[in-house]
């Protein structure tokens, strides 16, 4: 007779799963630039950021730790390049803005808890589940979670900066399992990114759920993920866990 599966550990992505920026990034950058006497279009900053972040992540993955950078310097470089791509060539004028933005994005008030996140975390705890964070974030995350009242829900917070590996690298999931003293078969991960949060944990034998969010999933992603693993909202998590635990392990 097959044993009934019981999930004991739930690990969580953070950005766009539990938290999001209170205002669009381009608006945040433009507001700070205006306070320093620079007028830059939010849309240009938004586009510049996407390009700068992608290039920096490619050249110096995981905050450039293996290249001798600190996460702070990594982010200051991204912001400087964002303004450059948005048409601001005066690096000296941008320098104080980069410092201010780094501080602002460290503050809990820049972020907001997504609808249903706190209730879901509380219900998971009531159910007896252990909770932890696995996030491609830097050292500022602990303070942000603390300030928003979410840190108390988690046994530990494992960032890619602390681990040395970003999702979807299997090693960050293995490190989380080691910290929790759990086997992968009794652990599941929740997040909104197909590669990092759905495929990554499955590569080490964990279960995973993909949060669709208000924009929904890319059709190719949606068609490749079983519908019982897709969460239209966080309120669907516990029913999805019930469904998973009602299945036969290995099937």
Does residue 134 sit in the same domain as residue 201? Answer: yes
Residue 77 has pLDDT above 50, yes or no: yes
pLDDT of residue 1: 42
What's the number of domains the chain is made of?
A: 2
The 10s digit of each residue's pLDDT in 100-141 is: 999 999 999 999 999 999 999 999 999 999 999 999 999 999
Q: Is the pLDDT of residue 5 over 90?
A: no
Q: How confident is the model at residue 176 (pLDDT cuts 50, 70, 90)?
A: very high
Among 108, 139, 161, the domain boundary falls at 108
Same-domain status, 124 and 237: yes
The pLDDT of residue 251 is: 40
Six-digit token string for 176: 């989380």
**Which pLDDT belongs to residue 4?**
75
User: Are 138 and 229 found together in one domain?
Assistant: yes
131, 191: one domain: yes
**80 and 26 fall within a common domain:** yes
Structural domain for 219, as ranges: 7-17+113-244
Question: Are the C-beta atoms of 182 and 8 separated by less than 8 Å?
Answer: yes
Closest CA to 198 of 77, 17, 55, 75: 17
Residue 23's region, left for phi above 0, alpha for psi from -120 to 50, else beta, is: beta
């Amino acid at each position: 007779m097959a044993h009934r599966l019981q999930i004991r550990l739930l690990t969580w992505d953070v950005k766009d799963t539990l938290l999001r920026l209170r205002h669009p990034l381009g608006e945040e950058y433009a507001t700070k630039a205006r306070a320093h006497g620079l007028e830059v279009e939010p849309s240009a900053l938004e586009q510049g950021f996407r390009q700068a972040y992608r290039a920096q992540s490619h050249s110096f993955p995981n905050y450039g730790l293996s290249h001798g950078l600190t996460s702070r310097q990594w982010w200051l470089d991204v912001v400087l390049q964002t303004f450059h791509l948005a048409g601001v060539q005066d690096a000296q004028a941008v320098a104080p803005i980069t410092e201010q933005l780094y501080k602002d994005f460290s503050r809990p008030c820049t972020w907001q808890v997504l609808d249903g996140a706190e209730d879901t975390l509380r219900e998971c705890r009531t159910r007896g589940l252990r909770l932890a964070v696995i996030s491609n974030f830097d050292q500022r995350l602990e303070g942000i979670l603390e300030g928003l009242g979410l840190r108390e829900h988690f046994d530990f917070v494992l960032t890619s900066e602390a681990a040395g590996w970003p999702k979807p690298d299997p090693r960050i999931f293995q490190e989380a399992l080691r910290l929790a003293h759990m086997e992968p078969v009794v652990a599941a991960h929740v997040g909104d990114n197909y590669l990092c949060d759905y495929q990554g944990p499955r590569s080490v034998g964990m279960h995973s759920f993909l949060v669709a969010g208000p924009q929904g999933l890319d059709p190719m992603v949606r068609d490749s993920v079983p519908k019982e693993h897709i969460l239209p909202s966080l309120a669907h998590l516990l029913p999805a866990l019930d469904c998973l635990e009602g299945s036969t392990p290995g099937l």
